[in-house]
Amino acid sequence: MRSEKKMNIPPNLIAFLKGNDDFFIATHINPEGDALGSSLALSMALNTIGKSTVLFDQDGVPDFYRFLPGHEHIRRTCNGLQPSDFNLLLLDCNTPRRAGIEGLTFRQCAVIDHHETESDFGDVRWIEPKAAATGLMIFSLIRELGIGITKEMATNLYTAIAIDTGTFRFGNTTAEVLRVAAELAETGASPSFISASLYETWSEARFNLLRLALQTLEIRSKVAFTFVNREMFAKTGTGPEDTENFSSFPRIVKDIRISAFFREIDDDYWKVSLRSKGDINVSVIAVLFQGGGHKNAAGYFIKAPLESAKELLLTKVSELSESTLPV
């Protein structure tokens, strides 16, 4: 089976990849499945046509993603490297700051991303806000390059797409997404293995952290608030990577419109993850706090006491009329 619909891949991106040999592939801090799976699959594909790649993520690979083929090649530092010898491929984000590589100089820079909030960074830019996942874009790119997708690439790409579609539950799950997922399964990706790896291998410590987070649940005006502070991390022996998907759990409640999860970084400094249902575009809200993201999944950072941060968010939500918030 072959997927029929083709994305409009910029010709200068194809030329960039074919005309250079050394690539530094970086993705955002606190990486999740789309960032990791996309980076790994693209690295493998480029390696098969004789290109040299370095994989970088400042925060490394969380334990529960170490089933991804090739994860051991992702490095957390640039020690021993000269970035100016490489061409940058920035995946699943569109600013060096989001990847923790601001200040580094590369030969040329290309961005491949699907977030709604954009920047003007990059000599070559391919931004597809309507793409369900960066992994879907990488799938099309590999095919456009004429590279055969291996079982290992398929596992990484299936994981990338599964994560950003809520394992095919979110509104961005289109017929095309399902066609690509089916093709990846035919190529060797195992949906049951990937699903079990993502959702049935939590450590007891991570589960205990979730229990503490859910105990903080507070609902105001159909907005659900939960948080994890540094004391909870210390009590459970967990870290920031263990909070992935915590923001999604309150959406189970029927009347919740927006879920806001606050993760403490420092004194009165929080990372806020927003999740919404249906037509509520939380990226519009995140932008008001200098953040960004997708229609139903976005985030930002805020320096304020927790209660004040909650009130500020509620104020912004109430200021946006029903005709402004959705798209």
CB 223 within 8 A of CB 240: no
Please give the Cα distance from 68 to 245 (Å, whole number): 18
Q: Do 175 and 212 fall within a single domain?
A: no
Does 129 share its domain with 77?
yes
> Is 304 domain-assigned?
yes
Residues 179 and 116 in one domain: yes
**Domain count for the chain:** 2
Do 20 and 163 sit in the same domain of this protein? yes
Query: pLDDT tens digits, residue range 3-17?
Result: 445 689 999 999 999
Domain termination residue (choose one: 198, 219, 252): 198
Residue range 74-116, pLDDT digits in tens: 999 999 999 999 999 999 999 999 999 999 999 999 999 998 7
Residue 5 in any domain: the answer is: no
Tokens of 19: 């005309």
Residue 311 has pLDDT above 50, yes or no: yes
End-of-domain residue from the set 158, 174, 198 = 198
Determine which helix (DSSP H) or strand (DSSP E) holds 45, and give its type and residue range.
helix 33-48
Q: Is the pLDDT of residue 206 over 80?
A: yes
**Composition of the chain by helix, strand, coil, percent to 5:** 40, 20, 40
List phi, psi (to 5°) of 189. Answer: -65, 135
H/E stretch holding 270: strand 269-276
pLDDT-based confidence at residue 1 (cuts at 50, 70, 90): very low
- Domain region containing 208: 204-319
DSSP 79: T
Final residue of a structural domain among 175, 198, 221? 198
The whole-model pTM stands at 0.90
CA distances from 227 to 31, 54, 168, 210, 314 (A): 20, 35, 26, 10, 15
Does residue 327 fall inside a structural domain? no
Residue-wise pLDDT tens digits, 112-136: 999 876 678 999 999 999 999 999 9
CA distance 132 to 158: 12
